[in-house]
Amino acid sequence: MSPSLRSSSPAAPSPDPGADPGWEPRDPTLPAPRAGTRRRAPLPRRLLRAALALFLLGGVVLAGAFAAGYLLVDIPAANAAAVAQSNLYLYRDGTVLARDGEVNRENVRLERVPLAVRRAVLAAEDRDFHTSRAVDPKAMVRAAWNTVTGKGRQSGSTITQQYVKNYYLGQEQTLTRKAKEFFIAIKLEREKTKDEILQGYLNTSYFGRNAYGVQAAAHAYYGKDVERLGPAEGAYLAALLKAPSAYDVTTRPENRPAVLARWGYVLDGMVGEGWLTPRERAALRFPDPQAARAATGLSGQRGYLVQAVEEHLASRGILDEKTLAGGGFRIVTTIDPARQAALVRAVEDRVTHRLDPAANPADRYVRAGAVAVEPATGRVVALYGGIDYTEQYVNNATRRDYQVGSTFKPFVLTAAVQSGARTQYGEPITPYTLYDGTDRRPVEGWPGAPYDPANEDGESYGEIPVGTATDLSVNAVYAQMAVDVGPAHVRRTAVALGLPAATPDLTASPSIALGPATASVLDMAQAYATLAAHGRRGEHTLVAAVTRDGEPLPLPSGEPRQVVGREAADTTTAVLRSVVASGTGTAALGAGRPAAGKTGTAEDDKAAWFAGYTPELATVVALMGQDPESGAHEPLYGALGLPRVNGGGPPAEIWARFTREALGNAPVRDFDLHLMPGAELPEVPPVPDDTDGERESEQDWYGTGEAGPEAKPARPGKRAPRRD
> Which residues does the annotation mark as catalytic?
125, 406
AA identity, residue 187: K
Beta bridge partner(s), residue 96: 90
Residues 6+ apart with CB under 8 A from 169: 76, 79, 177, 180, 181, 184
Long-range contacts of range 451-454, CB-CB < 8 Å, 24 or more positions apart? 451/479, 451/509, 451/510, 451/511, 453/479, 453/510, 453/511, 453/514
What is the C-alpha separation between 388 and 297, in angstroms, rounded?
Answer: 12
Distance of CA 357 to the CA centre of its chain: 34
What is the C-alpha separation between 647 and 587, in angstroms, rounded?
Answer: 10
What is the C-alpha separation between 701 and 684, in angstroms, rounded?
Answer: 9
- Kind of pairing, strands 88-90 and 329-333? parallel
CB 203 within 8 A of CB 105: yes
Using DSSP's 3-state secondary structure scheme, residue 271 falls into: helix
3-state secondary structure 447-513: CCCCCCCCCHHHCCCCEEEHHHHHHCCCHHHHHHHHHHHCHHHHHHHHHHHCCCCCCCCCCCCHHHH
What is the C-alpha separation between 651 and 350, in angstroms, rounded?
Answer: 8
Length of the chain equals 724
To the nearest 5 percent, what fractions of the chain are helix, strand and coil?
Answer: 45, 10, 45
What is the C-alpha separation between 470 and 417, in angstroms, rounded?
Answer: 15
Torsion of CA 492, 498, 499, 502, to 10 degrees: 80
Q: Count of CB atoms within 10 A of residue 589's CB? A: 14
Beta bridge partner(s), residue 624: 367, 607
CA distances from 141 to 148, 160, 369, 478 (A): 11, 17, 46, 52
Beta bridge partner(s), residue 384: 370
